[in-house]
Amino acid sequence: MAFLRRFLNFIYTASGVAASLCLIAILALIVIQMLARWTGEVFPGAPDYAGYAMASASFLAFANALNKGSHIRVSLLLNALQPKMRRVMEIWCFGIGTLISWYFVFYCQKFVFWSWKFMDISQGQDRTPLWIPQSIMLVGAVVLAIALTDHLLQLIFKGQHGIVQEKAGEGH
């Protein structure tokens, strides 16, 4: 089990690193586009690529943010409950989140498949096959679904989820 825990934590961290690389790519695209404008050149598709990188960064960061306790969780009600009822409510919340995330993954993979099958391309100047940025979104969605499932199973079998709790005022 220790190997599985290390592997899952590695996946969550790697997904967060990939998200940060997407943010760096956005910065690079903006700087290159600015330089191109100053020199009178044109960088076709730069806004489209920046948009793809932003969507990729968002989806890739979801699981890592969940694991680090950075997602917004409304815990006002949970904190007011007795420990047993709190555990039941957390299982219910993680269960609903897990079902919704796997439902999203199911339809997202169909979306990517049909974009690939019909050779759907973007309507911008870049003419990128849309299945490529959609695939990155799918990877992020799968990692989030795995993370939610992981925390649900931890909550059921260990009695507590693996989300790091940030103390008030000690944000990053």
pLDDT of residue 74: 65
22-38 pLDDT, tens digit per residue, is 999 999 999 999 999 99
Render the chain in DSSP notation, one character per residue: -HHHHHHHHHHHHHHHHHHHHHHHHHHHHHHHHHHHHHTT---TTHHHHHHHHHHHHHHHHHHHHHHTT-S----HHHHHS-HHHHHHHHHHHHHHHHHHHHHHHHHHHHHHHHHHHTT-B-SSTT--BTHHHHHHHHHHHHHHHHHHHHHHHHHHHHSS--PPPPPTT---
124 pLDDT above the threshold of 70? yes
8-18 pLDDT, tens digit per residue, is 999 999 999 99
